[in-house]
Structure 1
Amino acid sequence: MTEVQEHHAQLRAWAEGLYGLEAATELLIRGFNGRFADPGCPWVHPTASGHWIDFDSIPSLTGALSGGERRFLQITAALDDGVTTVNLGRCLAGLDRQHVHLVLAAVAHTAGTHQHQQLTVRHDGGLTVDRPGPMSRWDQAPPPPETPSREGGIGR
């Protein structure tokens, strides 16, 4: 496992158990080639066992970023169940297709659709409990456009 993969695994472990926190963390890891989940970001803080993300601080620390990056990060921060609110219509209108898909997967995850169960009536009148899976999956996002490699790994 690379240093970047280990860092991402640690962040996922830190977020585990709270769907909104899991979704927000996954957005940072998957969006914009993961650069907003790097330890060098001002909202990623070290601990003795790895790192944690201060999602509430993100909106105040995005001034030098592009409009699309700021919108993406605002949505990410709002999923954490903290104090951040967002005008979803404005934010979504400024995202490219790949990042809109990631936000859809994050919203589906936050809502717990990956854990939903439903009763289905079979043809014979019996009932079956089905787990249909997430409404939108992380791995269905279109591939990102070609970008320079992440040589050097974390903290670019």
Structure 2
Amino acid sequence: MTITGEAIAAVRRHYADRSDRVQAGAELLIRDGKAIYPGAPWLAPIGNGLVIDTALLTFESGAWSSGEQALTRIAVGLIDCTHLDSTDIARLDRRQLHLVLAAVAHSAGSHHDTDIEHCPDGSVTLTHPPTLMDWPTADPVQGATR
């Protein structure tokens, strides 16, 4: 089953006004491409979006690879604002690790940072540095399959 833009947009709509941490967890699942697809049993309509039933997702992901389970646990921890188990990091492959690092940077708000720059003339300027870790540039809809 191909991941559709509509399913992704519906999840993003629901989590758009949540904290950076919760947004990061949802975005992590979207960009990974395993858990967010039309008809996924852990996606439920709410308003004009889709909510992730994290308990069901965690239970159902038990048959997935250790890396997929670890990424799911990290995402669920971000969404539910529960603890993250650092031992899950060792189970991630390089692609998954990049996604998790971007999610952690997003959850910490690094995309909102402002720095004070002292200019040679003595003035002060506020700058907005880039996020510490960008999300991978691959579009989760293009070519991703379930």
Instruction: Give me the TM-score of the superposition, normalised by structure 2.
Output: 0.84
Letter of the 2:14 partner, please give it: W
Structure 1 runs not aligned, ≥5 long: 151-155
Shift of 1:52: 1.1
Q: In the TM superposition, what whole-angstrom CA distance separates every residue of 1:21-51 from its partner, at most 9, and x where no partner exists?
A: 21111111111xx230123333211235231
- Label 1:45 to 1:15 Cα distance change in 2 as closer, same or farther (>3 A): same
5+ residue gaps, structure 2: none
Q: Which runs of 4+ in 1 moved over 3 A?
A: none
1:124 corresponds, among 92, 103, 121, to 121
2:13 equivalent in structure 1: 13
- Contact 1:39/1:51 (<8 A) preserved: no
Tell me how far apart the structure 2 counterparts of residues 95 and 3 of structure 1 sit (CA, whole Å): 22
Deviates most, 92-101 or 2-11: 2-11
Q: Percent identity?
A: 37
Aligned residues: 142
Residue identity opposite 1:12 in structure 2:
R
Equivalent-residue separation in structure 2 for 1:41 and 1:7 (angstroms): 10
**3-state DSSP of counterpart to 1:103:** helix
Secondary structure (helix, strand or coil) at the match of 1:73 reads: helix
Q: Which amino acid aligns with 2:59?
A: S
Amino acid at match of 1:85: H
Asked if the contact 1:113/1:134 (under 8 Å) is kept, the reply is: yes
Task: Give the Cα separation in 2 of the matches to 1:28 and 1:54.
Answer: 12
Which structure has the higher relative contact order (CA within 8 Å, separation 6+)?
2
Whole-angstrom CA distance in 2 between matches of 1:87 and 1:149: 28
Task: Give the Cα–Cα distance (whole angstroms) in 1 for the partners of residues 116 and 35 of structure 2.
Answer: 40
Report if aligned partners of 2:24, 2:106 keep a CA contact under 8 Å in 1: yes
Aligned-residue Cα RMSD (Å) equals 2.5
User: What's the counterpart of residue 153 of structure 1?
Assistant: none
Structure 1-normalised TM-score? 0.79
Quote the residue 1:44 is aligned against. Answer: 43
